[in-house]
Amino acid sequence: MTWEQLIWYAAAAVICWVAGAVMAFRGKPAWMTTTSSLAGSAIFMAFIIGMWIALERPPMRTMGETRLWYSFFLSLAGVAVYVRWRYKWILSFSTLMSVVFICVNLLKPEIHSKSLMPALQSVWFVPHVIVYMFAYAMMGAVTLFALYLWLRKYDATDDELKVCDNLVRIGWAFLTLGMIMGALWAKQAWGDFWTWDPKETWAAATWLSYLLYLHIRGHVKDQNTLFALLIFSFLLLQMCWYGINYLPSAQGASIHVY
């Protein structure tokens, strides 16, 4: 498996995802919609597994490789939300976001090396990256939903806000898992749980910001504040994920360079 084959796997996956999204909109039975969407995710996962085997290491080392996981988990998050709450638009959203990240990967192909530095050869490497990518996908989904609710002409209903809460709870739970796994890994590798590396600093800011949302949710009724906080938190997440690669204060200061 090589990076050049991504376009074929992605095309097949996107066809399945789009079919699932269209079926959801047309009110087709849930099993049809879900099967189609999951088939797309399975095809995409097949590519990831193929890369894993070809590279002889988990494809999680480079930014492009993390984008693969992001696209995959977004599709899964979309299906999970659809199965749980039957929102017919969510599959279109998750497909759109997955496609955006696939396009970035196609337009910015990377050179892949089999090398994996000793610090990354840890039992924590795979779960740490996977739970973070899943968390990012959930937060991406809730951000899109919050934007949709915020920009339309009428207020969100209680049920719609509860969807935001639940997505944030799931996303925050996974952010927590990722952060703690990172801390346990760091202790094994370097002797410190936490070193305020720029990546860690922005991960902490992101985690705290979503935590603030969870804490004010029951007390603040103003929807503008809630939606603004969700979007602000997602901006912090972007800074944590790849923004620090461009941030002057973080240049040469982070061990999380990829």
Partner 1 sequence: MTLKWGYKRAFVRCALLFAAGTALQIVFGDLNNEFLRYPWGLIIAVNYLYLLVLIHFQKSRWTWLGQLADHYACTSSLGAMIAMTILFGLTRQDPSAEGLWATLGFTRMTSSWAFNILLLYFTTTTGLAVLEDMAHIRQRRVAAVLSHFAVFVVLVAGIFGSGDKLRVTVTTQQGQATHWGVSRSGEQVELPFVLTLDEFRMEEYAPKLYVLDAMNQTSSREFLSVEENGAQATIDGWLLTATQSLDMAGRMPDSDEYRAMEHIGAAPAVYVHARNQRTGAQREGWVSCGSFVFEPSYLFLDDRLAVAMPRREAKHYLSRMNVVTEDGEHLNFDIEVNHPARIGAWRIYQMGYDTERGRWSELSIVECVRDGWYSAIHIALWTMLAAGVVMFLTAGGRRKRKEVVK
Residues contributing to the site for partner 1 (CB under 8 A): 84-88, 111, 113-119, 121-122, 157, 159-160, 162, 166, 169-170, 172-174, 176-177, 180-181, 183-185, 187-191, 193-194, 196, 198, 201-202, 204-205, 208-209, 211-212, 215-216, 219, 222, 224-225, 236, 239, 244, 247-250, 253
Q: How far is the CB of 25 from partner 1 (least distance, A)?
A: 12
Cβ–Cβ under 8 Å, residues 178 and 128: yes
Q: How far is the CB of 88 from partner 1 (least distance, A)?
A: 7
Nearer to partner 1, 99 or 139 (CB): 139
Answer positive or negative: Cα dihedral of 139, 97, 242, 51: positive
- Smallest separation, CB 183 to partner 1 (Å): 6
What is the closest distance, in whole angstroms, from the C-beta atom of residue 184 to partner 1 in the complex? 6
Q: Which is nearer to partner 1, 13 or 198 (CB)?
A: 198
Closer by beta carbon to partner 1, 26 or else 162? 162
Q: CB atoms < 10 A from the CB of 11, how many? A: 11
We find the least distance from the C-beta atom of residue 222 to partner 1, in angstroms, to be: 5
Is the CB of 11 or the CB of 162 nearer to partner 1?
162
> Please, what's the b/e burial string for 222-242 (b: 16 or more CB within 10 A of its CB; e: otherwise)?
ebeebbebbeebbebbbbbbe
* Contact yes or no for 82/24 (Cβ under 8 A): yes
CB 191, min distance to partner 1, A: 4
Residues 133/66, Cβ–Cβ less than 8 Å: yes
Nearer to partner 1, 44 or 174 (CB): 174
- Residue (16 or 250) nearer to partner 1, CB: 250
With tokens 């797309």, the residue in question is 40
